[in-house]
Amino acid sequence: MSTSNKTAFVANAISSWGEGDIPEWVVVLAQEAERSSATAIAQRIGYSVAVVSAVIRANYAGDLSKVEAKVRGAFMGETVDCPVVGEIARDRCLDEQARPFSASSSMRTALYRA
């Protein structure tokens, strides 16, 4: 008889946030963590596994709106209109904004200035 080592992220999220109070994006984050792993999800949105776990457990002391924006872009298809490249995923926009200046290409320079 085998047992699953998978964490029940969705059940943990509902238990922690409360069924009627859990934001949609947290449910999506938990579902994605169950579908693959917390490590893969953390890498995809540019946060640590501890942050993913803390958000799911409603115990994150940081800026939830930043995590939400990354989740919405990475897993919910939210896009923004970039003045340089046009419509891009919200998480990619945030990643570009966080990058330091680099003159490696005209696009990198334009993205930094935008």
Helices (H), the chain: 9-17, 24-35, 38-45, 49-56, 64-75, 90-98, 106-113
Q: Is the pLDDT of residue 25 over 70?
A: yes
Looking at residue 2, what is its pLDDT?
42
Contact call for residues 93 and 80 (beta carbons, < 8 A): yes
Percent of the chain with pLDDT over 90: 60
pLDDT 10s digits, 46-81 = 999 999 999 999 999 999 999 999 999 999 999 889
- For residue 5, name the pLDDT band (cuts at 50, 70, 90): low
pTM, rounded to two decimals: 0.80
Least confident among 2-6, 22-26, 32-36: 2-6
Least confident of 5-9, 13-17, 95-99: 5-9
**Cα–Cα distance measured from residue 64 to residue 81, given in angstroms and rounded to the nearest whole number:** 22
